[in-house]
Amino acid sequence: MENYLSKKIIALITDFGTRDAYAAVMKAVLLKANPALSIIDITHEVNPFNIESVSFLLYSSWDYFPQNTIFLSVVDPGVGSERNILLAEQKGKILIAPDNGSVTLLYNKKDNFRVWTPSLKALSLIPAPESSTFHGRDIFAPLAGLISLQGIETVAGEAASPVLLNTLKPVLDKKIHTIRGRIIHIDSFGNCISSISAEDFPETRKTGKSGNAGKTEGSEDTEITEKKGKDKKTAKLKTAVIKTESTEIKGIEEYFARVPEGKALSYFGSTGFLEIAVNMGNASEILKIKAGDGISVYY
């Protein structure tokens, strides 16, 4: 029987669209290099001028893929210019991407996320590009094929400090009880996903072994204190006010369907980020919110 655990998966994200042969040709090059690869499309319809969205899609997919996955991100408006290529590794998963900020959320939020440039020796194994406009086919796919066969160790060169997008880091101002972030992705339902996640909220003061909650048996006192802390936080979320340029929403709901049809709400979405949606409607269109808009939470 085939050993599926050693079989590598390529998770592909590009801005090539689905009307041309570009994505298929990349897959062909990958399979020519390593016929045992399995290829999963994340999407080929990224807006090439929204690297924040690419960073979000990579970050929100990362944990769900098996360990033997190589993420290959070819959203590269700077193709042909002198931007670097990055290799990254975390918990056995690998990322190959142009050095344009795509790694920001993974780099900021994942422990032990290591980043390199490819070694010159590895790059020398790749045939000279046939084209200055299709590095996905001529450089990224051969590099991914090489890594799938030889491992990251033999391909990684020097450690790198990646380009990071500051706009993806929410700013907390405790004095005025405000978190300022940004709309980083509009999904195909029109839900507006922000850069703000639950961990960006200031912790309500807790006592007791809250860090071990559920792992050790706390005394009754601790449990009560914890519960109170949680209640306080929940209460705060209920009274928070969420503002964008065009919208104001009161309260962060726990369930999507807590508001009537057609009404706007905010909630922590399936990816952990604060989202603005309209129950049974397209929030981006109805509320006129677009990627790049500012969002503030007054808690």
* Interaction site with its own copies (CB under 8 A): 1-5, 7, 9, 11, 16-22, 24-25, 27-29, 31-32, 35-36, 38-46, 57, 60-61, 64-66, 69, 77, 79-81, 130-134, 137-138, 185, 187-189, 254-257, 267, 269-270, 280
- Minimum Å distance from CB 20 to its own copies? 5
Compare residues 211 and 214 and give the one whose CB is closer to its own copies.
214
Residue 294 CB neighbours (<10 A): 13
The tokens for 99 are: 């050095």
Compare residues 116 and 275 and give the one whose CB is closer to its own copies.
275
3 Cβ contact partners less than 8 Å away, ≥ 6 residues apart: none
Compare residues 224 and 280 and give the one whose CB is closer to its own copies.
280
Taking the C-alpha atoms of residue 98 and residue 143, their distance in angstroms, rounded to an integer, is 12
- Minimum Å distance from CB 272 to its own copies? 8
Bridge partners for 14 per DSSP: 74
- Minimum Å distance from CB 136 to its own copies? 9
- Minimum Å distance from CB 158 to its own copies? 26
**φ, ψ for residue 132 (rounded to 5)?**
-90, 0
Percent helix / strand / coil, the chain, rounded to 5 = 30, 30, 40
Compare residues 20 and 173 and give the one whose CB is closer to its own copies.
20
Compare residues 7 and 236 and give the one whose CB is closer to its own copies.
7
- Minimum Å distance from CB 192 to its own copies? 13
- Minimum Å distance from CB 138 to its own copies? 8
End-to-end CA distance of the chain: 56
Taking the C-alpha atoms of residue 137 and residue 142, their distance in angstroms, rounded to an integer, is 7
Residue 182's H or E segment, with its range, is strand 178-186
Compare residues 9 and 252 and give the one whose CB is closer to its own copies.
9
CB-based contact 158:120 (threshold 8 Å): no
Spatial CA neighbour of 284 closest among 217, 189, 153: 189
- Minimum Å distance from CB 75 to its own copies? 12
Please identify which residue in the block is written with the tokens 């929030």: 283
The tokens for 144 are: 């991914």
- Cα angle value 67/162/53 (rounded, 5°): 70
Compare residues 132 and 234 and give the one whose CB is closer to its own copies.
132
